[in-house]
Structure 1
Amino acid sequence: MTAHPAVPRDAAMADIREMLIVHRVFRREFAALPGAVRGVAVGDRTRARIVAGHARLIMEGLHLHHSGEDVELWPLLERRVQTRADVTARMEAQHGELAALVTEVGRLLPDWVESAAHPEPLAEVLESLQAVLLVHLGDEEAEILPLVTEHVTAGEWARLGEHARRGMRPAELPLMFGAVLEECDASERAMLVATLPFPLRLLVRPVIEPVYRRYIAKVRAEVLQ
């Protein structure tokens, strides 16, 4: 196991604001999914495919978010804050429970898309997933993020974001970043855009945001003005 020395006194510490925004995005999107599934007209397979594709995108984002914590964060905290090993163990157990529910959603999606009928089994699992996720996000914000601000450096924290970006397909990046920007106020937006490499910053307004707006309008069945 790699040793993690104590944090140097002059080290810049983790800024948890981005994770709080990402948590808000997950709350928003998972809250909407059961209703989106139930709202598909019987036999409308085109609409079912759109909703299912969005569900898969958001679940992949959740998987990458959690796998980054599993790989980068829990081992670090367990070594630096040994007295709170029970907390990280609980977070890992919640990740396992959520992963099982995500797997069940993935099992149900193909048949639902094929028929565009009988939405209740899928919608009910999505509601269970949302309920467990809300507890997990609340626990993480109350018990893990205070430890992060005290025991994790900015460089170590950045590895979680790098893990997620490496795991995304190129076509997913503007959709996920657009979903996060949608949740931001002006100061949060400026903070997040500043974290991007300079060439990508130039693409936010002309490319990333229009791509996301067109995508999410389809998901929400909105008409762009």
Structure 2
Amino acid sequence: MPNLVGITVNHRSMRGDAHRFADLLRDIASGATTNPPERARAIAGYLETLCDGIHHHHQAEDDVLWPVLEASAGAEVDLRELTDDHRQLDPLLEAIRRDARTLAAAPADRAAARRLADVLGTLRDLLDEHIDDEERTVFPVIQRYVSDADWAKVEAAVRKGGKMGFELPRIERYATPAELAELKRMAGPVLKVLLAVTRRGFARREAVIFP
């Protein structure tokens, strides 16, 4: 049976970041939180990478996972609504990139912060609904019909093109202790080394964005 701990943590990290940045930008827009230039630039950089990661994830699902499911499970799975959600994501991600760059250029512009908070809120709500649907309907199909070999291809496609300096430290942030232990067991000693290498830079940026 395919081990879904990796995709589960990945889903949680996307949702968690959408929630905490929507809350942060709402506070900046209201004036409850300051937004000095260094922070605004760090927010824009983080959101740019987050949007790239979300795009890569859903593109890998479209290009690799969906064909595997259709070949393995056939009529047992209906992917039309999930595919429609993916089509809504890219314009939304581009709006986040644009509004984050605008705020980085004018950190004191509360209207720009409000626009970014609004689009992040839309992303948050879409991801919550989409991931709930996907985990409820697709995960049981994966576990019942997809072979370990095919699942390994899906996971390789998700890893390919991912930014490890960004993705790996977020595993530590969002995985439970049991999930982290399982991921380390699956990956072997290399994961411990990579986490040690990437952790410090990620923590520095976190300290600027969420002091």
State the match for 2:116 in structure 1: 122
Q: In structure 1, the residue corresponding to 2:138 is in which secondary structure?
A: helix
Residue ranges of structure 1 left out of the alignment (5+ in a row): 1-12
Amino acid at match of 1:143: T
Partners in 1 of 2:161 and 2:195 — Cα distance?
24
Q: TM-score under structure 2 normalisation? A: 0.86
8 Å CA contact retained: 2:5, 2:183: no
CA displacement at 1:194 relative to structure 2: 2.6
> Aligned runs of 1:1-225 on 2, under 5 Å?
13-40=1-28, 44-85=36-77, 87-116=78-107, 117=109, 118=111, 119-168=113-162, 172-196=163-187, 198=189, 200-204=190-194, 206-221=196-211
Q: In structure 1, the residue corresponding to 2:160 is in which secondary structure?
A: helix
Q: What whole-Å deviation, never above 9, does each CA across 1:4-58 have from its counterpart, x for those lacking one? A: xxxxxxxxx2111221222111121100112222444677322111111111122
Partners in 2 of 1:74 and 1:205 — Cα distance?
30
Partners in 2 of 1:217 and 1:62 — Cα distance?
23
- The one of the two structures with greater contact order (alpha-carbon pairs below 8 A, sep at least 6) is 2
| Distance 1:187-1:37 versus aligned 2 partners, 3 A rule | same
State the match for 1:5 in structure 2: none
Partners in 1 of 2:199 and 2:99 — Cα distance?
31
Partners in 2 of 1:112 and 1:202 — Cα distance?
36
8 Å CA contact retained: 2:44, 2:97: no
Partners in 2 of 1:82 and 1:49 — Cα distance?
46
Partners in 2 of 1:32 and 1:56 — Cα distance?
15
CA displacement at 1:173 relative to structure 2: 0.8
Amino acid at match of 1:192: L
Residue ranges of structure 2 left out of the alignment (5+ in a row): none
| Distance 1:43-1:62 versus aligned 2 partners, 3 A rule | closer
CA displacement at 1:83 relative to structure 2: 1.5
Q: Number of aligned pairs?
A: 204
Partners in 1 of 2:75 and 2:195 — Cα distance?
46
Q: TM-score under structure 1 normalisation? A: 0.81
Taking only the aligned residue pairs, the percentage that are identical comes to 23
Q: What whole-Å deviation, never above 9, does each CA across 1:49-93 have from its counterpart, x for those lacking one? A: 1111111122222112111111111112122222245x2121111
Two-structure CA RMSD over aligned residues (Å): 2.1
Partners in 1 of 2:185 and 2:202 — Cα distance?
19
CA displacement at 1:204 relative to structure 2: 4.3
